[in-house]
Amino acid sequence: MGPYAGWYALLLTLLVVLLPATGFKNDFWLWVRWAQYSRAHGLGNVYAVPGNNYNPLYHYMLWLFGQLAGSSAAIETQRYSLKLLTLPFDVAGALLAASLAGGGRRRFLSSLGLLLNLGYLYNSLVWGQVDAIYSCLSLAAVVLALRGRGAWSAACFALALAAKLQALIFLPPLLLLWAPRWWQAPRRLAAALLAGAGTLALVLLPFAVGGERSYLADIWRINRQAVGYYPFLSMNAFNWWQLTADGPLLTRLDSDLWHGLSYQRWGLLLFGVAATAVLLPLLLHALSRLRQPRPPDRPLALLSFALVPLVFCFFNTQMHERYWHPAVLFLGAYAGVSRRYALLVLVSLAYLLNLDAVLGYLPLRAWSPGLLHPKVVALLFAAAIGVGLTELYRLAPLGTGLRALGRQRATARLA
């Protein structure tokens, strides 16, 4: 942080001082209950609470919060202070994204693109959600992979999965970053597998041996049943289904048929097509690196990772409004590296509108009610995906990648 440490300290102090005592009450009630239980019965027994459907990493934080609060009553009265355990991941994510931007001043200004971005901070600061945790850890895995630290990258990705199963969407592009180095030195694959598996084992250990019984089966069930937990078209994510389906999407089952297939299958199909378009340039780039070892293309990689959660949220059913969060973080990193900020601004605006249309903390509806209309927000996300794909193929034209791959194959045959 260097000469800017004082500015960061001042900004962090302001965020803490301005921390609003508000949030999504249903989730806070659950978190309070889990924190009280783990304080009374031990971290290893927290999955004995009926309805506990969170992965283990956040339970460590709830347990810590309970220990710091000192009593069950204090956990209840100080519940909104739980945000102070998530907010550092927003700050760390912004600093990590900015670390790729270059020199000190440029790095500082790049970090402000997230730390002064209400679209980025709203989820933790106002809503009180915890998506910043797995988003930050996923970005850490990517940054470490870009720097050739495969084992540490795998460990961070394991932590991201231990926080939220949604981190799984980053596994395919991460494999495209890891694979060329594994190809060149297979021992790195063994080190990465050991680091990832070992990290997960350590996280799970208290729930395997620290409670009255092993809760590993419960954790596995939670993750296995995550798909289909809310079997509706949309859980307030303003996406493709806002543009194509009628009526209240919160109550329409995604198992209903639409043009011969269920909505869920259509969502998966459209996501599969969009994800293929997003990952194809990175795949060609990875294949070219197999023959010509070189560092990954950072703008290409970061933009690819940003587009993955965008198309995941835009086309799939059952999506919550906060699932866009990692896209903003990765776009912050991409903007710092590429100096192209349009996508960061567009997605930050759409994300902020989607969140506030549900929570209603800001007076946006009074100022411009049309701006919060689900179809308007969905069109903003659609525009962001279109602009993002255009930039992606500008960075790595498909024809150029295929020609380079063809030249490598020809050289290999001659050799």
Q: Helices H, strands E: what count in the chain?
A: 20, 4
Arithmetic mean of pLDDT, 211-240: 93
Q: Above pLDDT 90, what percent of the chain? A: 80
Range 22-50 average pLDDT: 94
Residue spans per domain, the chain: 230-415
Instruction: Provide the pLDDT confidence category of residue 35 given band limits of 50, 70 and 90.
Output: very high
Structure confidence by residue, pLDDT tens digits, 314-344: 999 999 999 999 999 999 999 999 999 999 9
Pairwise CA distance, residues 324 & 384, whole Å: 12
Burial of 404 per CB tally in 10 Å (0-12, 13-18, 19+): middle
* Average pLDDT of the segment spanning 330-359: 96
Q: How far apart are CA 60 and CA 220, in angstroms?
A: 18
CA distance 193 to 19: 40
As a whole number, mean pLDDT of residues 306-311 equals 98
Q: What is the mean pLDDT of residues 157-179?
A: 97
Mean pLDDT in residue range 85-111: 92
What is the model's pLDDT at position 415? Answer: 47
Question: Cα-flanking dihedrals φ and ψ of residue 235, to 5°?
Answer: -100, 50
Q: How far apart are the first and last CA of the chain?
A: 49
Residue 400 has pLDDT above 90, yes or no: no
How far apart, in whole angstroms, are the C-alpha atoms of residue 115 and residue 7? 11
* Whether pLDDT at 399 is above 80: no
pLDDT band at 414 (very low <50, low <70, confident <90, very high): very low
**Above 80 in pLDDT, residue 1?**
no
Residue 407 has pLDDT above 80, yes or no: no
pLDDT band, very low/low/confident/very high, at 292 (cuts 50, 70, 90):
confident
Amino acid at 94: A
Q: Copy the structure tokens of residue 170.
A: 């980053």
Average pLDDT taken over every residue of the chain: 92
List b or e across 333-346, with b for residues whose CB sees 16 or more CB atoms inside 10 angstroms: bbbbbbebbebbeb
Residues 287 and 357: their CA atoms lie apart, in Å, by 43
In this prediction, residue 13 carries a pLDDT of 86
Interatomic CA distance for residues 67 and 182, integer angstroms: 42
Q: Residue 316 burial (CB < 10 Å; 0-12/13-18/19+)? A: buried
Confidence grade of residue 37 (pLDDT, cut at 50, 70, 90): very high
Side-chain half-sphere exposure of 288, counting CA atoms within 13 A: 20
Q: How far apart are CA 364 and CA 355, in angstroms?
A: 11
Q: For 124-166, how does the pLDDT look when each residue is reduced to its tens digit (9 = 90+)?
A: 999 999 999 999 999 999 999 999 999 999 999 999 999 999 9
* Confidence grade of residue 2 (pLDDT, cut at 50, 70, 90): low
Say whether 223 sits in a helix, a strand or coil.
Answer: helix
Higher pLDDT, 24 or 358: 358
Angle CA(57)–CA(58)–CA(59) in degrees, nearest 5? 90
pLDDT of residue 324: 97
Find the mean pLDDT for residues 219-224.
Answer: 94
DSSP codes, 4-56:
GHHHHHHHHHHHHHT--S---HHHHHHHHHHHHHHHHH-GGGGGGSTT--S-H
Q: What is the mean pLDDT of residues 205-214?
A: 96
Q: Which two tokens stand for residue 334?
A: 């991409």
